[in-house]
Amino acid sequence: MRFLRRSLIGLFLTCATLALLVGAGYKVYSAYQARLAAESLPPQARERQFAVNVAEVVPQRLIPVLTSYGQISARQSLELRAPAAGRIVALSEAFEEGGAVTAGEVILKIDTEDADAALRVARADLLEAEADLRDAERARTIAADDLKAARAQLDLRKAALDRQQSLFDRGVGSASSVEEAALTHAAAGQSVLSKRQALADAEAAVDSAKTSVLRAEIDRDNMQRTLDDMTITAAFDGVLSDVSGALGTLLSTNEQFATLINPDELEVAFRISTEQYARLVTDRARLPQMDVTVTLDVAGLDLKAKGRVVRESAAVAEGQSGRTLYARLDDVLGFRPGDFVTVELEEPELERVALVPASAVGGNDTVLAVTEQSRLEEVPVSVLRRQGDDVIIGVEGLSGRQVVAERTPLLGAGIRVRVNGAEGSAQGGAGADMIALTDERRAALLAFVASNDKMSDEMRVRVQEQLAADKVPADLIERLEQRMGS
């Protein structure tokens, strides 16, 4: 009996050992088959997601600023030139580059010896012309007296002729006496005619003498003015520029030796396009009298001045386009003629517009807006102004939405994106990582979870409970949609 009991126990242990070995082998075989089945399944495609920077479109009222570039010039400048050839004999202490002078101050003097001699000659010529005029006037007076005497003689000869004719008619006189009286009367008439011609010649001589006197006076005045111009004075308060010459320098006629500039009277000339000009004229009906701001960048320190547009160019220069405007500056402290400056001109105010980066607008005047499904949508916009690196657009259909701030060739309509900074903002406040789902999106996610046989029942129930809530974790939605491949 003991042998039988021990044999049965040994048999039982052997069977149990064999059963355990078979079970272990089956487990290993099942794991191996599961691994082979998993490796044979094709990998599930995952949609690529791009990170983008966005800008929110907020309706506002903006004043567009038209930016241009121009050059400062002096409104009041005077070229100083030598009126006649001569040597510099005196100089002002301010005769140097940038020297400040006041109105009426003597800048330099030129040797006046030749001008004095020319003035004395002109005065002598005037005295001679005046003497000739007096002689001509005396000759005219004498010629007038001669004419008067000749006319009296003619009257006497006429009376004698009438008397002889009366005697001849009464039969007392003779025909020869009448003829002799007639010849004498004709000779007196001829004498009157000669005296009239002499008087006319005398009057012409007087007129010629007056002309000579006038010319002599003009020459004298010119010489006097040239002499006065030998002393050059400042016409207004200003500074000297382009100074050349020194004491003893010989100047030629009309040679420029300096330029006088009024540093307080400056203006800026700048050019705008024809499109901008047309827009300004259409909006304001009149271009001048617009305020501008002029900026000069000096080693990082900006000098600014206010001004006002006062006029525009009368014609377009050959080979150029657009319009040239001129603005008079009010406060010109620190500015100098020749400075190259930036000009900003304020345009009329625009309402219900938004300012977005220029890189957000495509060449076809569209922007990429982010939808609720984190996908991109191409929306057309109206570009109203371009200023610098930004553009002003209308907000119709975009109010409150986010648009891609930096477009790339990889982005387009329908592309799935992730907004940069969204995770940080979610951590910054409670509930920021929870989003609300639309009915269509919620139904699609629930259908995917219900049909996924790789999930355990417990996990499936938990995910369905989360999707049924009003707000769902954003990371859960992202993982599910990536697995959906949609």
CATH of the domain at 379: 2.40.420.20
Burial of 325 (0-12, 13-18, 19+ CB in 10 A): buried
What mean pLDDT comes out for the span 29-39?
Answer: 68
- The secondary structure of residue 375, as a DSSP letter, is B
Are residue 195 and residue 276 in the same domain, yes or no?
no
The confidence score (pLDDT) of residue 426 equals 35
Question: For residue 182, is pLDDT > 70?
Answer: yes
Span 36-88, pLDDT tens digits = 665 554 555 566 778 888 888 888 888 888 888 999 998 888 888 888 888 88
* 54 domain-assigned: yes
The 3-state DSSP class for residue 408 equals coil
The confidence score (pLDDT) of residue 46 equals 61
* 18 domain-assigned: no
* 409 domain-assigned: yes
Are residue 361 and residue 399 in the same domain, yes or no?
yes
Are residue 337 and residue 373 in the same domain, yes or no?
no
- Please, what is the end-to-end C-alpha distance for the chain in angstroms? 75
Q: Which region holds residue 109: left if phi is over 0, alpha if psi is between -120 and 50, else beta?
A: beta
Question: For residue 239, is pLDDT > 80?
Answer: yes
**Single residue among 347, 369, 392 that ends a domain in this structure:** 347
The 3-state DSSP class for residue 55 equals strand
Are residue 164 and residue 187 in the same domain, yes or no?
yes
Are residue 278 and residue 309 in the same domain, yes or no?
yes
Q: If pLDDT is split at 50, 70 and 90, which confidence band does 291 have? A: confident
Are residue 394 and residue 367 in the same domain, yes or no?
yes
DSSP sequence for 90-125: EE-TT-STT-EE-TT-EEEEE--HHHHHHHHHHHHH
* Alpha-carbon distances, residue 296 vs 75, 227, 328 (angstroms): 19, 45, 16
Are residue 200 and residue 146 in the same domain, yes or no?
yes
Are residue 164 and residue 125 in the same domain, yes or no?
yes
**Single residue among 301, 324, 347 that ends a domain in this structure:** 347
Asked if 147 and 141 count as a contact pair (C-beta separation under 8 A), the reply is no
Domain residues for 461? 431-486
> What is the rounded distance in angstroms from the CA atom of residue 236 to the CA atom of residue 100?
11
Question: For residue 433, is pLDDT > 70?
Answer: no
Are residue 333 and residue 362 in the same domain, yes or no?
no
* 37 domain-assigned: no
What mean pLDDT comes out for the span 114-126?
Answer: 89
* 19 domain-assigned: no
- Spatial CA neighbour of 245 closest among 88, 109, 106, 101: 88
Residues 81, 84, 86, 89, CA torsion sign: negative
Asked if 230 and 112 count as a contact pair (C-beta separation under 8 A), the reply is yes
pTM of the model: 0.57
Higher-scoring residue by pLDDT: 125, 331:
125
> What is the rounded distance in angstroms from the CA atom of residue 23 to the CA atom of residue 27?
6
**Single residue among 316, 347, 378 that ends a domain in this structure:** 347
Which tokens in the block code for residue 327? 């603005």
Domain count, the chain: 4
Mean pLDDT for all residues in the chain: 81
Containing 225, the helix (H) or strand (E) segment is helix 175-229
The confidence score (pLDDT) of residue 288 equals 59
Are residue 333 and residue 287 in the same domain, yes or no?
yes
* Crossing angle between the packed helical segments 439-451 and 457-468, to the nearest 10 degrees: 180
- Spatial CA neighbour of 132 closest among 216, 245, 16: 216
Q: If pLDDT is split at 50, 70 and 90, which confidence band does 283 have? A: low
Asked if 64 and 272 count as a contact pair (C-beta separation under 8 A), the reply is no
What mean pLDDT comes out for the span 216-239?
Answer: 88
Question: For residue 480, is pLDDT > 50?
Answer: yes
- Spatial CA neighbour of 76 closest among 295, 209, 233, 262: 262
Are residue 486 and residue 469 in the same domain, yes or no?
yes
Percent residues over pLDDT 90 in the chain: 7
* 237 domain-assigned: no
- Spatial CA neighbour of 425 closest among 49, 50, 54: 54
Higher-scoring residue by pLDDT: 373, 207:
207
* Alpha-carbon distances, residue 199 vs 137, 218, 418, 439 (angstroms): 11, 29, 115, 125
Are residue 140 and residue 179 in the same domain, yes or no?
yes
**CATH code of the domain in which 300 resides:** 2.40.30.170
* 227 domain-assigned: no
* Alpha-carbon distances, residue 33 vs 19, 21, 181, 454 (angstroms): 21, 18, 175, 17
Question: For residue 459, is pLDDT > 80?
Answer: no
What mean pLDDT comes out for the span 141-150?
Answer: 83
* 280 domain-assigned: yes
The 3-state DSSP class for residue 282 equals helix
Span 18-27, pLDDT tens digits = 888 888 888 8
The confidence score (pLDDT) of residue 423 equals 43
Span 150-177, pLDDT tens digits = 888 778 777 777 777 777 777 776 777 7
